[in-house]
Amino acid sequence: MSDRSPDVELHAIQQLIAVLEPLDEEARSRVVGYVFGRLGISGPLHSPEFSVLGAGSASAGVPTGVTRPPQSQPLDIRTLREQKSPRSATEMAAVAAYYLSEFAPAAERKREMTAADVTRLFKHAGFPLPGTPKMTLVHAKNAGYLDPGSERGTYVLNPVGYNLVAHKLPSGASSAGRSEPRAKPKRRSARGRVKKNAGRSR
């Protein structure tokens, strides 16, 4: 390691702080979590190095909003599926990709997923298996949740898919309890009322 490395690291830390500081706590955690996944850093927001960084944030100038997630977050694919309640195989593919990058055991955690991962994780989650797993990934890509990976047949969760799973599922929670607006009764025109009254007078 060169003598200039600490200066380079300090400069990088200062740049990160400058970018993250204007954001609120939730946005900071979301951005850092996605960047960790994008760079292929295993265990985003979970690694010992990151927890130490968070613990020393007051003195190092690291945003206090970037913290480890609560221990109540799901640790297995079935629990995650039950919490997010995906309504389609396409949404489930995004949930599976999110699980692989965020919550899978260290030996299994990865950014890119394949059709084999779809079959394995759908089974473990108790979600109906698709007829063609590789087409499920294609449909998830076309829906905007996944991006092509480094090799043919591999896919990566993108920001749209990440936000879907982390912040928008389960679907319909915000609209629960809403009732359809009642149709207003048609008002009879004055001309129609005149014709009806004329018919009665005959």
Question: What percent helix, strand, coil does the chain show, rounded to 5?
Answer: 55, 5, 45
Residue 74 in tokens: 């799901």
Please indicate, yes or no, whether the overall pTM of this predicted structure exceeds 0.75: no
Higher pLDDT, 4 or 99: 99
Q: Which helix (H) or strand (E) holds 155?
A: strand 155-157
Residue 133 in tokens: 């797993």
Under 8 Å between Cβ of 74 and 96 = no
Q: Which helix (H) or strand (E) holds 80?
A: helix 77-84
pLDDT beyond 80 at 138: yes
List pLDDT tens digits, range 38-95.
776 654 444 443 433 343 333 333 334 433 344 344 469 999 999 999 999 999 999 9
Under 8 Å between Cβ of 54 and 76 = no
C-alpha 2, offset from chain centre: 39
Residue 114 CA to residue 93 CA, distance in Å, equals: 10
List pLDDT tens digits, range 151-181.
999 999 999 999 999 999 997 654 333 333 3
In this structure, the dihedral spanned by the alpha carbons of residues 136, 138, 139 and 141, taken in order and rounded to 10 degrees, is: 120
Domains of the chain, each with CATH number or no CATH: 10-60 (no CATH), 77-168 (1.10.10)
